[in-house]
Amino acid sequence: MPIDLSVFGNKLQRYREQRQLTLDELVPGTGIAVERLTGFETGTTTPTGDEVLILADFFQCDYRFFVSNEKLAAFEQTESLYRRFGSEFSKKDRSSIQEFFFLCECEAFLMAELKREVEYFSFTPLGTFFKGHGDQAAAALRKHFKYAPNAVPSDVYADFRRLGFHVFRRSLENSNISGLTIQHPSAGTCILVNYSEDIYRQRFTAAHEGGHGILDRNDDVIVSFSNKTPDLVETRANTFASRYLLPVKIARQIPVRQWNRAEIVRWASQFKVSTTMLSIALKEAKIIDENTAKDLRQARVPAHEKIDPELANLDGRLVARKEELLSRGLSAFYVGLCLEAWTRGIVSASRVAEMLLVDDFELWDIAELFGLTPATQ
């Protein structure tokens, strides 16, 4: 099928500009001369098949995106993202987000190939009160997962993956961005949590973005900021996260007669939430007043008491290595999918390395870390 040079050039230029790259900066990563790249963008030079593949590999998208009208990449979503919030994302963060989409697309592919089923969950809010929507949705999801009334979710990331949401954590340079939710045209709901945040904050952000995935499916792009006054949509997602992680009913049952900083730290640690979130739950349960809540929020759970659910029960070396992988977006869930597909012969070693954003040498290091050795492959 002949390539429409105008469409190809337009997509290439727009993708390049989204990443804030010059034509000269494409040369080292693609090996394509700047004169040819210029010709591609102006529609005067026809790319070879290999050049299309090289550019698709560089931008981490399906090559068919460049040569067809199929919506195979989150191209329109990223355009909307940077048009609305462009000043918030550095060049490095834009690269990280591109890799995030690539991981989501790979995860969707792997789950389909491995025939991993996801749970169907649908929620329709009642009334027009946004906080009420968040409360209702949280109760409905807890019921769906059969959580006991006094149960606290231990791994919120795993919960939303059960719904088919693609949840990745990735360090972003902009610390004011807590997370984002994107409706990918082929992969579905994709959630990015800023790994630079506190562990408990990441947990809350995952639930918050999960709320967006449930309640705001018609919005292609949602960015959550930690430094901005929440609007109604953000307030609803905050309510969902709070009620999902710690319903008011549980807060009312905490056996504490007199709340102080020591008690807020002890119970926040037990519930794996911040002292701010717990103090808000106590205030909304009418257990403490605003002045007490302000005082309790000054206390902090010590960092050494906060355990990441994806790093639990590991020794020191494994914790450090897996933590480094998590910061790059490589969750244990995702790595497990990649290695299972490899051992079952669904994908090659080189394809797995590409999916894990590593070279062949580091692939074997990761495989060994997760219990797969050359002898077992």
* pLDDT class of 314 with cuts at 50, 70, 90: low
Q: pLDDT averaged over the chain?
A: 92
Phi, psi of 200 (to 5 degrees): -70, -35
pLDDT value, residue 304: 85
pLDDT value, residue 68: 85
Q: Where are the beta strands (DSSP E) in 210-291?
A: 221-225
Q: Residue 33: how many CB atoms within 10 A of its CB?
A: 11
In this model, does residue 315 exceed pLDDT 70?
Answer: no
**For residues 233 and 128, which has the higher predicted lDDT (pLDDT)?**
233
pLDDT value, residue 141: 98
Tell me the whole-structure pTM to 2 decimals: 0.92
**For residues 263 and 308, which has the higher predicted lDDT (pLDDT)?**
263
pLDDT value, residue 373: 60
Tokens encoding 42: 């102006």
In this model, does residue 375 exceed pLDDT 60?
Answer: no
- Whole-angstrom Cα distance, residue 301 to residue 152? 17
- Whole-angstrom Cα distance, residue 376 to residue 241? 41
* pLDDT class of 43 with cuts at 50, 70, 90: very high
pLDDT value, residue 316: 67
pLDDT value, residue 159: 97
pLDDT value, residue 360: 86
- Whole-angstrom Cα distance, residue 196 to residue 341? 30
The stretch 74-100 carries a mean pLDDT of: 94
The stretch 149-164 carries a mean pLDDT of: 94
Nearest-CA neighbor of 306 among 361, 343, 269, 254?
269
Find the helix or strand (DSSP H, E) in which 311 lies: none
Q: Residue 182: how many CB atoms within 10 A of its CB?
A: 29
User: Model confidence over 274-296: pLDDT tens digits?
Assistant: 999 999 999 989 999 999 999 99
In this model, does residue 26 exceed pLDDT 50?
Answer: yes
Phi, psi of 333 (to 5 degrees): -60, -50
| Neighbour-count burial for 190-227, b at 16+ CB within 10 Å, e otherwise | bbbbbbbbebbbbbbbbbbbbbbbbbbeeebbbbbbee
pLDDT value, residue 134: 96
pLDDT more than 70, % of the chain: 97
User: Model confidence over 243-263: pLDDT tens digits?
Assistant: 999 998 899 999 998 999 999
Query: What residues have CB less than 8 Å from 347, skipping those under 6 apart?
Result: 113, 338, 341, 355
* pLDDT class of 339 with cuts at 50, 70, 90: very high
